[in-house]
Amino acid sequence: MEEIKSVIAGNIASLRNSFGMTQMELAEKLNYSDKAVSKWERGESIPDVTVLLKICDIFHVDLEYLVSEKHEREKSGRSSVFKKKRYQKSTPRERRNHAAIIGISILLVWLVAITVFVVLEMSIGSVTKMHYLAFLWAVPLSLVVWLVFNSVWFNPRNNFLIVSLLMWSILAGIYITLWSVVDFWMIFILGIPGQVIILLWSLLRYSETDEEEAEASQNKRISGKKARMEGAGDDTGEEAEKGQGEDRPGV
């Protein structure tokens, strides 16, 4: 029993560290305290089966991985412990914090644009087309900020829309910036093959993400079956012991 505790404790700690997660963050995802997670990782106690299944779902491993001391390598040559999903589930508070950070970052971009506008107005003395270019190019910069944070914290499937808007805003920015010099409207034709490339790229990312989600779902079903089989085995053992006790003659 102590050996199983030690194995599970080491696997939970290893998985948590490989995902760059603190004990508090893991505890919030499991609706437990960080003290409970600390006890699990020290081997002082073992989580129940439902908690173990939640841990498997968070780290995208099966139940056998948590209770095994040695782990087999995947066919691709990577260990399943290091196979991280692009989009990890986060708590509502984390999502609110991430959204607030994105909003603040985008507002900082527009603050810089306003600052540039004011500086140009003070230096030149009159509002010209150059002043408004600061706001024009703030749009693609804001989309770049959104794209970066969305790839890290939110669902990468939304990147298709963001990248599309980014491409067309850059083309529009180039056209408006050079409009007084040359009427280069044909630059928007470049957006057609560019949009096709973005579409194909998004389909490729969708297929990879769907494959990972299917694998995680399959692992979860396997873990559930193992847990039910173990529970059925325990119930059968208890019934057998009870039957033996009833058949035993009294002293």
pLDDT digits (tens, 9 = 90+) for 112-148: 999 988 888 888 766 666 778 889 999 999 999 999 9
Say if 153 falls within a structural domain: yes
Say if 141 falls within a structural domain: yes
- What is the domain range of residue 156? 92-211
Say if 85 falls within a structural domain: no
Tokens describing residue 180: 């007084």
Helix (H) or strand (E) holding 59: helix 49-59
Closest by CA position to 106, among listed 146, 67, 70: 146
Residue 2 pLDDT level (bands cut at 50, 70, 90) = low
Say if 125 falls within a structural domain: yes
Residues 6+ apart with CB under 8 A from 56: 62, 63, 65, 66, 219, 220, 223
- pLDDT for the residue numbered 224: 52
pLDDT (average), residues 87-91? 57
Query: Residue 32 pLDDT more than 60?
Result: yes
- pLDDT for the residue numbered 147: 92
How many independent structural domains does the chain possess?
Answer: 1
Average pLDDT, the chain: 76
Closest by CA position to 130, among listed 138, 143, 121, 141: 121
Higher pLDDT, 46 or 182: 46
Query: Residue 33 pLDDT more than 80?
Result: yes
CA gap 11, 6 in Å, rounded: 9
pLDDT (average), residues 182-205? 83
- 51 burial (CB, 10 Å; 0-12 / 13-18 / 19+) is middle
Say if 70 falls within a structural domain: no
Closest by CA position to 52, among listed 224, 216, 207, 180: 224
Say if 24 falls within a structural domain: no
Say if 191 falls within a structural domain: yes
Closest by CA position to 4, among listed 65, 69, 71, 72: 69
List, as one string, the DSSP characters of 169-210.
Answer: HHHHHHHHHTTTT---GGGGGGHHHHHHHHHHHHHHHHHHHH
Say if 18 falls within a structural domain: no
pLDDT (average), residues 43-53? 87
Query: Residue 190 pLDDT more than 50?
Result: yes
